[in-house]
Chain A
Amino acid sequence: MYGSETGFLARESLPELFSLLHVQGFDIVAPQIQDGSILYQVITGAEQLPSGWQDQQQPGSYRLTQTESPLNFSWANGPQALKPWLFAPREVIWRAEKQPDGRLQFCEPDAPDRKLAVLGVRSCDLAALKLQDAHFLNNRYHDPYYAARRKGLLIIAVNCSHPADTCFCVSTGDGPHAEQGFDLCLTELENGFLISSGSETGNDLYEKLPLTKATEKQLHNQLQQKLSASKQQRALPQIPVKQLLSERRDHPRWDDIAERCLACGNCTQVCPTCFCHKEGDLASLDASTSEHLREWDSCFSEGHGYMAGHQARPEIKDRYQQWMIHKLSSWHDQYGRSGCTGCGRCTTWCPAAIDFVEEVNLICGDES
Chain B
Amino acid sequence: MTRAAPKPQCDSHPYLPMEAEVVEFTAESPSIFTLRLKLTDEQQNQLYSFQPGQFNMLYLHGVGEVAISIVSDPQDERLIDHTIRAVGRVTKGLQQLKPGDRLGLRGPYGRGWPMQECKGQDVIIVTGGLGCAPVVAVINYILMRRKKFGKLTIIQGVKHSDDLIWRERYDYWNTLPDTQVLIAADHGGAVWPFHHGRVTDLFSKSIVDPANAFAMLCGPEGLMQAASTGLIDLGLQPERVYLSMERNMQCAVGHCGHCQYGKDFICKDGPVFSYPEISDRLGVQGV
Interface residues of A (CB under 8 A from B): 93-94, 96, 98, 102-106, 108, 135-136, 139-144, 246, 249, 275-281, 283, 287, 290, 292, 294, 297, 299, 303-309, 312-313, 315, 317-319, 321-322, 326, 329-330, 333-334
Residues of A within 8 A of B104 (CB): 96, 104, 106
| Contact call A304/B61, Cβ cutoff below 8 A | no
Which 6 A-B pairs have CB atoms at the shortest separation, nearest pair first? A318-B286, A283-B62, A276-B257, A333-B263, A141-B253, A290-B62
Q: For residue B100, which residue of chain A has the nearest CB?
A: A102
Q: Cβ of B258 < 8 Å from any Cβ of A? A: yes
- Chain A residues within an 8 Å CB radius of B14: 141-144
Contact A279 B65 (CB under 8 A): yes
> Which of the residues B8, B12, B268 comes within 8 Å of A144, measured between beta carbons?
B12
Stretch of B16-24, B46-54, B170-178, B228-236 on the interface side: B16-24
- Indicate if the CB atoms of B286 and A140 lie closer than 8 Å: no
Residues of B within 8 A of A140 (CB): 5, 8, 253-254, 268
Report yes or no: A108 in contact with B100, Cβ–Cβ below 8 A: no
Complex-state Cα separation, A103 to B64, whole angstroms: 17
| Minimal beta-carbon separation of B128 from chain A (angstroms) | 13
Least CB distance from A125 to B in Å reads 20
- B207 near A: Cβ within 8 Å? no
Nearest chain A CB to B278's CB is how many angstroms away?
Answer: 13
**B-chain residues with CB within 8 Å of residue A144 when the two chains form the complex:** 12-14
Task: Say yes or no: is B255 at the interface (Cβ < 8 Å to chain A).
Answer: yes
Contacts of A330 in B (CB 8 A): 260, 262-263
Q: Is the CB of B87 within 8 A of A313?
A: no
- In the complex, A329 Cα to B88 Cα: how many Å? 33
Is B103 located at the chain interface by the 8 A CB criterion? yes
Contact A290 B15 (CB under 8 A): no
The answer to whether A297 and B258 touch (CB under 8 A), given A308-B91, A309-B87, is: yes
A106 in contact with B255 (CB, 8 Å): no
Check B248 against A306 for contact (C-beta < 8 Å): yes
Name B250's closest neighbour in chain A (CB-CB).
A279
Q: Which residues from A are CB-within-8-Å of B43?
A: none
> How many whole Å from B4's CB to the nearest CB in chain A?
9
With both chains docked as a complex, state the minimum distance between the C-beta of A322 and any C-beta of chain B, in angstroms.
7
In the complex formed, the residue of A with least CB distance to B60 is A281
Give the residue name and chain of the B residue nearest to A332 (CB).
B263
Q: A96-B59, A279-B65, A318-B285 are in contact. Are A141 and B255 (CB under 8 A)?
A: yes
Q: Which size bracket describes the interface of B in this complex?
A: 35 or more
Q: Which residues of A contact B190 (CB under 8 A)?
A: none
- Chain B min CB distance to A244 (Å): 14
The chain B residue sitting closest to A304, CB to CB, is B258
Tell me whether B165 is interfacial, beta carbon within 8 Å.
Answer: no
Residue of A nearest to B87 (CB): A308
Secondary structure dominating the interface of B: loop
Question: Is residue B247 within 8 Å, beta carbon to beta carbon, of the partner chain?
Answer: yes
User: DSSP class of A's interface residues: helix, strand, loop or mixed?
Assistant: mixed
* B87 engages A143 (CB within 8 Å): no
B63 in the interface (beta carbon within 8 A): yes
Which residues on the B side are within 8 Å of A277 (C-beta)?
Answer: 250-251, 255-257
Contact at A305–B17, with CB atoms within 8 Å?
A: no
- In the complex, what residues of B have CB within 8 A of residue A279's CB? 64-65, 250-251, 256
Q: B31 to nearest A CB, angstroms?
A: 11
Distance between Cα atoms of A327 and B287 in the complex (Å):
14
Q: How far is the CA of A315 from the CA of B287 in the complex (A)?
A: 11
CB of B101 within 8 A of chain A?
yes
Q: What separation, in Å, do the CA atoms of A308 and B85 have in the docked complex?
A: 9
Query: In the complex, which of the residues B40, B63, B91, B251 contacts A281, with contact meaning CB atoms closer than 8 Å?
Result: B63
Q: Which residue of A lies closest to B63 (CB)?
A: A281
Contacts of B88 in A (CB 8 A): 308
Give min CB distance, B229 to chain A, whole Å. Answer: 20
Q: Which of B85, B268, B286 contacts A312 (CB under 8 A)?
A: B286
Indicate whether B82 reaches chain A with its CB closer than 8 angstroms: no
Q: Is the CB of A141 within 8 A of B256?
A: no
**Of B63, B247, B248, B255, which is in contact with the most chain A CB atoms at under 10 Å from its CB?**
B255
Which residues of B sit under 8 angstroms from A246, Cβ to Cβ? 262, 280
Confirm or deny: B163 has a beta carbon within 8 angstroms of a beta carbon on chain A: no
* Residues on B with beta carbons closer than 8 Å to the beta carbon of A319: 286
Known: A279-B256, A329-B263. 6 other contacts (CB 8 A): A98-B102, A106-B17, A144-B12, A306-B248, A317-B286, A322-B287
Beta-carbon contact of B64 and A280 below 8 Å: yes
Check B209 for interface membership: any CB of A closer than 8 A. Answer: no
Name 5 A/B residue pairs within 8 A (Cβ), A-sorted: A94-B17, A144-B13, A279-B251, A292-B15, A305-B248
B186 to chain A, nearest CB (A): 18
CB distance from B32 to the nearest CB of A (A): 13
Could you say which residues of chain B place their CB within 8 Å of the CB of A136? 255
Q: In the complex, are the beta carbons of B286 and A321 less than 8 A apart?
A: yes
Question: What A residues does B246 contact at CB under 8 A?
Answer: 307
Query: A104 is contacted by which of B19, B87, B247, B257 (Cβ under 8 Å)?
Result: B19
Any A CB within 8 A of the CB of B76? no
Instruction: Find out whether the CB atom of A334 lies under 8 angstroms from the CB atom of B263.
Output: yes
Residues of B within 8 A of A98 (CB): 61, 102
The residues of B that contact A299 with a CB separation of less than 8 Å are 257
Residues of A contacting B262 in the complex (Cβ-Cβ under 8 angstroms): 246, 330
Kindly list chain A residues whose C-beta atoms are within 8 Å of the C-beta of B263: 329-330, 333-334
Contact B256 A103 (CB under 8 A): no
Min CB gap B213→A, angstroms:
30
Per the bound structure, the CA–CA distance linking A322 and B263 in Å amounts to: 11
Give chain A residues whose Cβ lies under 8 Å from the Cβ of B1: none
* Nearest-Cβ distance from residue A59 to partner chain B, whole angstroms: 24
Shortest CB distance A242–B (Å) = 10
- Tell whether, in the assembled complex, residue A94 and residue B102 are in contact, meaning their CB atoms are under 8 Å apart: no
